[in-house]
Amino acid sequence: MTQQLTEINAINMAQVLGDEHSRKILVATHLRAKTASEIAESYSIPIAACYRRIKTLEELALVQRDQQILTQKGKRRWSYISNIHKLELFYTDGKVAARCELRNGYVEDLKAVRV
C-alpha cells in the first residue's frame, strides 16, 4: 500500500531529483521492486550510499518496502518500489512548485517555495 507524501515541498523534491543516486534508485524501482543490493550493483552505487538514499526516500514516502526476501545465505532483505507514478517540477514567478502523482492515484501539489 502506498503512502501519502509527508512534509515535502517543491525544493525538497528538486534536491532529491538533483541527487544522482536518488534518481537512479527511483528509476530502478519504478517498474518493479528491487533490493538495495540489486540497485547498487546495477547502477554502480556504493551499497552504503544506496541504503542511505533509500532511507531518505522512504522518509519522504517516495519509495516503500515491498516484500521481505530470504537470501540463499539465510539473510532477510527488503525489496523496494517507487511510489511515484508521475512528477512535474515548475518554475514560475520566482518560485519552484511541484505536482506529484503516486501509484495509488493520490495527487499532491507540493508547496511552492521562493528560490
Q: Are 6 and 61 in contact (CB under 8 A)?
A: yes
Supply the pLDDT for residue 83.
94
Alpha helices in 1-115 (DSSP H): 10-18, 20-28, 36-43, 47-59
Given a cut of 50, the residues of the chain with pLDDT beneath it are 1-2
Supply the pLDDT for residue 113.
82
Domains defined for the chain, CATH in brackets: 10-83 (1.10.10.10)
What is the spatial distance between Cα 7 and Cα 17, in angstroms, rounded to a whole number? Answer: 16
C-alpha cell at 64: 516503500
Q: Are 23 and 65 in contact (CB under 8 A)?
A: no
Supply the pLDDT for residue 111.
80
What pTM, to 2 d.p., does this model score?
Answer: 0.85
Contacts of 57 (CB under 8 A, 6+ apart): 16, 22, 25, 26, 63
Supply the pLDDT for residue 32.
96
Supply the pLDDT for residue 115.
74
